[in-house]
A and B are shown apart, each in its own frame.
Chain A
Amino acid sequence: MEKSLNWHEFVITRLIKASGYSAILFVALIFIFLVREGVPTFLETELSSLLSIRWYPIEEYFGILPLITGSLIVTLGATLVAVPFGIGTAVYISEIAPRWMREILKPLVELLGGLPSVVLGFLGILVLSPYLRLLLDLPTGLTAFTGSLLLGGIAVPTVVSVAEDALDAVPRAYREGAWALGATRWQTIWRVTFPAARSGVLTAVMLGIGRAIGETMTVMMVTGNAPVLALKLGSLFAPVRTMTATIAAEMGEVAGGSTHYHVLFFIGMVLFLISLGVNVAASSVVFRAKKRAERILS
């Protein structure tokens, strides 16, 4: 009995350890398979054509610059929506709202995080874009701006939950100290609590941006899918095409192993590296802040 129990325990411990390591394995596998299918791009097309401004795969034009600028402009717009509203909502939930209000708001924001992006894209096509077309007097409502608004909404829950955690983690003594010195609650929020939670809020913003740049279905459905270089502010009100949407829209139709196929994997690689960069940066901000806090408290 004793012995079989130990053997049992040994196997289970090993299995649990292996599962713990699996996350590393999966990140590695994802990278390996993107590289495996993406790197042949360099053998099949020249770097100069890859960095040109024309994306027209049927005639073998694989310039990914329009797709990159498309992703950037939509993400920029989404950030301008998600950051103020996300941080504002986080401050409200964590610092201002009465308890009952908090109990209503938090699940609602979580609900937004769970809404399928395809549903938002669907409403974007049927409701938001016709409305914006009339309101802004544009030739089409399927623009980078429409995408930005919806994408901002999609990024909001990420920003709210991470920023709210950061504000919540600020010790109550900080606030009480400020109040005791005669500061109003408003002054306390912006001069004490918020600066103390700064690194967490920064992480929230970065993760929100990461969420926006990787979103696929909504942007594919509402940004009009035109791979044109988007460099001016006016491009915000014209159709664009993002990197994610390009992969989603074209992968289904390409022949496996063709140049086009490899270029799409190459774009996936670029997206993977962007999200890797954003997440490593975001977690190192948190890590450094933790170190600093430990130094101050010791």
Chain B
Amino acid sequence: MKRVLPNRHLTQRLGFTAITLMAVLTVIPIVAVVIYIFLQGLPAISTEFLTGFPHDGMRAGGILPAIIGTMYLTVGTAIFSVPLGIAAAIYLSEYASDTPLTRTIRIAIINLAGIPSVVYGLFGLGLFVIFLNFGTSILAASLTLSIMTLPVIISTAEEALRSVPQAFRTVSISLGATRWQTIRRIVLKEALPGILTGVILGLERAAGETAPILFTGAAFFLPRLPQSPFDATMALPYHLFVISTQVPEMPIQIQYGTALVLLVFVLTMNLIATVIRSRARAKRQW
């Protein structure tokens, strides 16, 4: 007996070390990627880089149109996906019972989440660009990105709504509020931080995506900013793809600078989401 015990504790110690090592090996590259891009990209950042147009075949100048374009696309995506996604989440959490139809909706959402981004691009090309005749435009790209973002928003918003205690609803209804009043004034209000976190994380993904906008709205180079939702636009992720694969003799510093701006864009959204979530958790009284 005495010889067995130390052995299993040794196994445990070895095992814990191995697992810890794996976790560390998973996380280090993430941190390294972020730090590396910051170090390499920072020297490229200047006022001209952030506010100027590219010139000399994109080998000089700034990336303003790509920054603005990504902002347009993110806002466009939010306009369509946020109301629709939150409404769908309200339906699933507050109205739907466990019927075959509801289960079909859930399977559909899981499937939407799994469809490859480039397939979304094909779909957007088929439906928005060609069938509805929007052309390669901010509108078509935003709609494509919205549908891709929808499952993220629906599932996180539903989770946030469900975490509001049932008693809140019962009390509100018993005070004479209607169902919708209860949802709007009580449930939505309590679930807001959770919903916001999900929305931002969803939009963060949309902002960084390239494949869905390849054939629906992204432009290689534009001499001016887009004027209407029916114009094509430059976008940071697509621009990074273009200058790192399609343009020969591209100065490396501009490439890293573009990667850094994209990374900061995405990281800022991620940070905001994380802060909202941890603040809400700390403040929660139920």
A residues near B (Cβ < 8 Å) are 5, 8-9, 12-13, 15-17, 19-24, 26-27, 29-30, 33-34, 36-37, 84-86, 88-89, 91-93, 96-97, 105, 107-112, 114-123, 125-127, 153, 156, 160, 184-187, 207, 210-211, 213-217, 221, 244, 247-248, 251-252, 256, 264-265, 268, 271-272, 275-276, 278-280, 282-283
In this assembly, does B96 line the interface, its C-beta being within 8 Å of a C-beta of chain A? yes
Are A112 and B30 in touch, CB under 8 angstroms? yes
Of A23, A93, A117, the residue contacting B150 (CB under 8 A) is: A23
Contacting B111 at CB < 8 Å: which of A27, A110, A123, A211?
A: A27
* Given the contacts A19-B84, A27-B112, A92-B20, A264 and B30 also touching, CB distance less than 8 Å: no
Q: Which among B46-54, B164-172, B204-212, B226-234 touches the partner chain?
A: B204-212
Chain B residues, CB < 8 A from A88: 18-19, 22-23, 26
Given A37-B122, A211-B114, A251-B125: 20 more A-B contacts, CB < 8 Å: A16-B90, A17-B91, A19-B83, A22-B150, A27-B112, A30-B120, A88-B22, A88-B26, A109-B27, A116-B237, A116-B262, A126-B252, A184-B9, A185-B12, A186-B12, A216-B210, A221-B244, A268-B119, A279-B113, A283-B110
- Total A-B pairs in contact (CB under 8 Å)? 260
Q: How far is A251 from B123 in the complex, measured between Cα atoms in Å?
A: 12
The size class of the interface chain B forms with chain A is 35 or more
Q: Which of B37, B126, B178, B237 has the most CB of A within 10 A?
A: B126
**Which residues of the other chain, A, contact B252 by a CB distance below 8 angstroms?**
126
Query: Nearest Cβ in chain B — how far from A240, in angstroms?
Result: 16
Return chain A residues, CB-CB under 8 Å to B267.
Answer: 111
Are A16 and B87 neighbours in the complex by a CB distance under 8 Å?
yes
Could you tell me if B240 and A122 are in contact, using CB atoms closer than 8 angstroms?
A: yes
* Contact (Cβ within 8 A) B126 A36: yes
A34 contacts B87, C-beta separation under 8 Å: no
Q: Which A residues are CB-close (under 8 A) to B131?
A: 33
Q: Which of A21, A114, A216, A265 contacts B266 (CB 8 A)?
A: A114
CB–CB B88/A221 < 8 A: no
Complex: A34 Cα to B131 Cα, angstroms: 12
- Give A38's nearest chain B residue, CB to CB: B122
Contact of B119 among A30, A119, A283 (CB under 8 A): A30
Shortest Cβ distance from B151 into A: residue: A23
Subset of 7 A-B contacts with CB under 8 Å:
A5-B178, A114-B208, A118-B241, A248-B121, A265-B126, A275-B116, A279-B110
Q: How far is the CB of B205 from chain A (nearest CB, A)?
A: 6
Which chain B residues border A110 with CB–CB below 8 Å?
Answer: 201, 270, 274
Given A13-B95, A186-B15, A116 and B266 touching (CB < 8 A)? yes
Q: Which residues of A contact B122 (CB under 8 A)?
A: 33-34, 37, 247, 251, 264-265, 268
Contact B240 A118 (CB under 8 A): yes
User: Is B104 in contact with chain A by the CB < 8 A criterion?
Assistant: yes
For residue B175, CB closer than 8 A to chain A, the reply is no
Contact A119 B263, CB 8 Å, known A85-B25, A109-B26, A271-B119: yes
Measured between C-beta atoms, what is the minimum distance from B187 to chain A in Å? Answer: 12
| C-alpha gap A217/B240 in the complex (Å) | 11
Return the chain A residue nearest B244 by Cβ: A122
